[in-house]
């Protein structure tokens, strides 16, 4: 049973609860290639105290962890770090390491060994070769908004900002030993799925239910849990779930994302309560903006929605931070986010740091070593 998320009090000046799911890849410390030992590592980690906060994913290369709901970033950060340390220790006992990145850097990731189980078998029977490229890892942020109507309205308001989150968290430039030329290749791998990417503008809970029912009937998704949209009401806990981000290399990256997403949700909730209309960029431009963000990350340009003008990606993030500043202050996260964002802006995002590790000696193995060290870094 998932234990992340939470149903905290909404609206006004209340503090929204936040929880995260993180997905890690297992790698062999000698070859640095992905290793299909996740079931053993999950069993070890669960037996050593993590219980149902750790689990398997679609492929045997992946381990998933789930935090409890939290009201402070200090508490969330502490649990994220302890989960990473516990999974790394379990992996070490099995002779492996963990990395937190959106895609495999080295190893034969396609087709992956799939985790046994009826749901995964059904997925492969339904989606076939699409499952072959699902050795991808995300960081999902859950915000406690139990009212579905309000959650859907918040999602409508945040659709134009989704490309900014892609750029901020892009951490998957490599795929099976090759630099793809993208900062966030995971976004591109997921874009092939029939129900993925930016969600549609949803008029009401009834509209959402009708849409989901039609997608299930068409066979495009197996059930509500198969909606791979970047933001959606969770199918199993009372939260609004942000699924857009690559797995963050460091715990600090996860905390920055979670604090920013909570502030975005709180700001959007205030707009919903005030009766402000949500921006509705053209779907074609929103999709194009997400593509551009995945390609360029933080070191390139972003589409300035609702128009098509290009601006520096860092300028887009600064605008986002300005928009959510009151919510960051209200949640006590303003100085934390300022500090972490200044560090990212000066040193580069996840994709930039992976490429910097490669440039030092021209070895892709150095990228994996960088990610191994970053996964459990405490400062």
Q: Tally DSSP H helices, then E strands, for the chain.
A: 13, 13
* pLDDT, mean of residues 245-253: 98
- Per-domain boundaries in the chain: 18-375
Instruction: State yes or no: pLDDT of 27 exceeds 60.
Output: yes
Cα distance between residue 203 and residue 269, in whole Å? 16
Of the two residues 43 and 134, the one the predictor is more confident about is 43
84-128: pLDDT as tens digits: 999 999 999 999 999 999 999 999 888 888 888 888 888 888 888
The stretch 189-215 carries a mean pLDDT of 95
pLDDT at position 227: 92
pLDDT at position 15, please?
87
Based on its alpha-carbon atoms, the radius of gyration of the chain, rounded to whole angstroms, reads 19
Mean pLDDT, the chain, rounded, equals: 94
Residue 309 pLDDT class (50, 70, 90 cuts): very high
Task: Choose among 40, 33, 60, 68: nearest CA to 144.
Answer: 68
Q: Quick check: 138 and 266 in contact, CB under 8 A?
A: no
Residue 180 has pLDDT above 50, yes or no: yes
Is pLDDT at 7 greater than 90 in this prediction?
no
Sign of the torsion angle spanned by Cα atoms 174, 221, 305, 233: negative
Rounded CA-CA distance 83/114 in Å is 24
Confidence at residue 12, expressed as pLDDT on a 0 to 100 scale: 47
Q: Per-residue pLDDT for 198 more than 80?
A: yes
Q: What is the pLDDT of residue 5?
A: 45
Q: Per residue in 31-67, pLDDT tens?
A: 999 999 999 999 999 999 999 999 999 899 999 999 9
pLDDT at 9 over 70: no
pLDDT above 90 as % of the chain? 87
**Over residues 1-26, mean pLDDT:** 69
CATH of domain 18-375: 3.30.590.20
Mean pLDDT, range 239-245, rounded to an integer: 97
pLDDT digits (tens, 9 = 90+) for 257-270: 999 999 999 999 99
Instruction: Write the pLDDT tens digit of every residue in 151-169.
Output: 999 999 999 999 999 999 9
Please, which pLDDT band fits residue 292 given cuts at 50, 70 and 90?
A: very high
Degrees, nearest 5: CA angle 214-219-222: 95
C-alpha closest to that of 294 among 137, 166, 103: 166
Is it the case that residue 4 has pLDDT exceeding 80? no
At residue 42, what are phi and psi to the nearest 5 degrees?
-60, -45
Check if the beta carbon of residue 301 is closer than 8 Å to that of residue 312: yes
User: Residue for token digits 């850097």?
Assistant: 105
Model confidence band, residue 13 (pLDDT cutoffs 50, 70, 90):
low
pTM for the whole thing?
0.95
């Amino acid at each position: 049973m998932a234990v992340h998320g939470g149903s905290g009090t909404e609206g006004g000046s209340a503090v929204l609860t936040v929880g995260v799911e993180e997905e890690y890849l297992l790698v062999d410390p000698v070859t640095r290639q992905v290793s299909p030992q996740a079931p053993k590592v999950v069993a070890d980690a669960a037996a050593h105290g993590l219980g149902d906060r750790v689990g398997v994913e679609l492929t045997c290369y992946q381990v998933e962890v789930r935090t409890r709901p939290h009201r402070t970033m200090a508490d969330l950060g502490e649990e994220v770090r302890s989960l990473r340390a516990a999974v790394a220790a379990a992996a070490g006992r099995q002779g492996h390491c963990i990395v937190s990145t959106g895609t495999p850097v080295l190893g034969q990731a396609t087709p992956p060994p799939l985790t046994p189980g009826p749901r995964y078998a059904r997925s492969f029977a339904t989606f076939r070769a699409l499952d072959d490229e699902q050795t991808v890892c995300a960081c999902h942020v859950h915000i406690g908004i139990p009212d579905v109507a309000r959650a859907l309205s918040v999602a409508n308001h945040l659709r134009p900002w989704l490309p900014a989150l892609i750029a901020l968290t892009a951490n998957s430039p490599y795929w099976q030993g090759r630099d793809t030329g993208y900062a966030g290749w995971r976004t591109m791998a997921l874009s092939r799925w029939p129900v993925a990417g930016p969600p549609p503008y949803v008029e009401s809970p009834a509209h959402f239910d009708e849409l989901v029912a039609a997608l299930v009937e068409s066979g495009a998704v197996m059930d509500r849990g198969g909606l791979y949209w970047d933001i959606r009401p969770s199918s199993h806990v009372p939260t609004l779930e942000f699924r857009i981000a690559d797995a963050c290399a460091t715990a600090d990256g996860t905390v920055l994302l979670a604090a920013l997403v909570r502030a975005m949700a709180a700001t959007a909730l205030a707009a919903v309560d005030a009766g402000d209309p949500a921006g509705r960029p053209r779907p074609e431009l929103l999709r194009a903006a997400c593509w551009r963000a995945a390609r360029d990350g933080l070191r390139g340009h972003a589409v300035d929605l609702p128009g098509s003008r290009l601006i520096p990606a860092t300028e887009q993030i600064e605008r986002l931070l300005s928009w959510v500043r009151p919510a960051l202050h209200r949640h006590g996260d303003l100085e934390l986010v300022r500090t972490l964002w200044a560090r990212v802006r000066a040193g580069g995002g996840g994709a930039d740091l992976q490429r910097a590790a490669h440039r030092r000696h021209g070895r892709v193995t150095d990228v994996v070593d960088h990610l191994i060290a970053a996964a459990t870094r405490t400062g």
